[in-house]
Structure 1
Amino acid sequence: MSDPGFEYAPIGLVELENRVIRRCNLHFASMFGGQESEYRDMPLLRLYPSHEDFERIGKRGLQVMRETGYYTDERIMRRRDGDLFWCRARGKSLTPDDPFRHGIWSFADISEERRVVELTPREREVALLTCRGLSAKEVGVELGLSYRTIEAHRARLLQKFGARKLPELVAKLSGMPL
C-alpha cells in the first residue's frame, strides 16, 4: 500500500529496522543517488563514510534514544557514488524499549550550508563537541584524551577551515555566516 505523504515528502525519509532500510521515499533516493527499490534491505552502514563513524554515531544515538526516544545530529554521509556531504539526521523510535528495532528517520542535505572538509574521525568528534560549546578540557574528558591533545586537534581544524580563532571555526563548522 502506497503512502503519498511518506513517498512525496520534501525531505528524505526512511523506515529503519535495526539500522537496515526497509523503505525510503523519493527524496531520500534522489539525495543519496538511485531508485527507492535499490535501498530496500540495505544496511545504513553503506551510507556512512566509515564503519567507525557508523559505530560511533550509533553508540551515541542509541544512548540518547534510550533516554528520549528521539535523536538528531548533523553528520557527514556518503552518497552511493562515494561523494561525501553534510546531512542533518533526525530519528524517532517506534519501539522505545529497543530504540533501533524500528524507527522513522529524516535526512536533509545541508551541504550548501557547509562544505565538506576531509577530517579524521577524531577530528570530527572534536569538531562536534567544540560546536556544542565544550572547553578543551571537557572535550578531553568526553573522549578520554588530554586537553593538550584536544588543542592540537583544534589547531589542525583551524588550519583546515582557514579560521583564525575558535569562534570563527565554530561559525564555519555550524554553517553560520561570518
Structure 2
Amino acid sequence: MTAAFPFTLSDMPVPMVFATHRIIRDCNAEFARLFGYDRADLINGSLARLYPAIADFVRTGEMWRHNLPGGAVYYDERVMADAGGTRFWCRVHGRTRDPVDPFAWALYCFEPISRPVSRKTLSLTGRQRQILTLVAQGKTSAVIAEETGLSRRTVEAHRLRLTRAVGVENSAQLIAWFLSE
C-alpha cells in the first residue's frame, strides 16, 4: 500500500517550480514572491524571463543539460533578476525524472543567497560569474571543464583572468573575495 504524499507544491515553504522544457508549469507563492510576480503571470511562461540576460539562460541550460540527466540532482549558484530588474544571487537545486531529457520534467528549488550583487561582480561576464561560482564550490578546473563543456585549459584561462579582474593573486583569495562581496 502506498501512502499519498501529504503535501503539494503550493504547501512548500521554499520557492519551488515545476517546469517542462524550461517552461514554468507550476510554482508556489514563495517562488512568485521571490521574483516579484503574481503566480498566474509565471505559469506557462519561460524561465528565461528570470535571468538578467538570455545568454545567462542559455549558458545555464547547457550546463544543466550536461549534469542533470539520469535522475541526477544538481545545483549551482547564479545571478537572477526579479520583475523590477533587481539582480540577486540564488542557489538553485534541480532534479529531473526523465533519464534522457533532463528538461522534460524537472523540479527546481530556489534559495536566495545573502550575497550582494556588487558592481565588480556585474562587471564580470556571465561566463566568468559561472566559473567563479563553480570555483567557490571548491571544484577543480577539470570538474568545471566537465560541467561546463569547456576545455580544462579554457577554464584555467578564465580563472587566471578572474584573479586579475578582481585584483587577487590566487584561487584561495578569489574565493575569499567572492564570498565577502
Q: Superposition pairs for residues 3-152 of structure 1, below 5 Å?
A: 5-110=8-113, 112=114, 114-116=115-117, 117-118=121-122, 119-131=124-136, 132-134=138-140, 141-142=151-152, 144=154, 147=157, 150-152=159-161
**What is the count of residue pairs matched by the alignment?**
166
Could you state the TM-score of these two structures normalised by the residue count of structure 2? 0.78
Q: Which amino acid aligns with 1:167?
A: A
Contact 1:13 1:24 (8 Å CA) reproduced? yes
Can you list the C-alpha shifts for 1:30-50, whole angstroms capped at 9, x where unaligned? 100021111011100111111
The unaligned stretches of length 5 or more in structure 1 are: none
Percent of residue pairs bearing the same amino acid type:
29
1:167 aligns with 2:176: no
User: 5+ unaligned residues in a row in structure 2: which ranges?
Assistant: 1-5
Supply the distance in 2 between the matched residues of 1:170 and 1:144 (Cα, whole angstroms).
19
**Over the residues paired in the alignment, what is the CA RMSD in angstroms?**
2.8
Q: Which amino acid aligns with 2:39?
A: E
Q: TM-score, normalised by structure 1?
A: 0.79
Cα 1:175–1:6 change in 2 (3 A) is farther
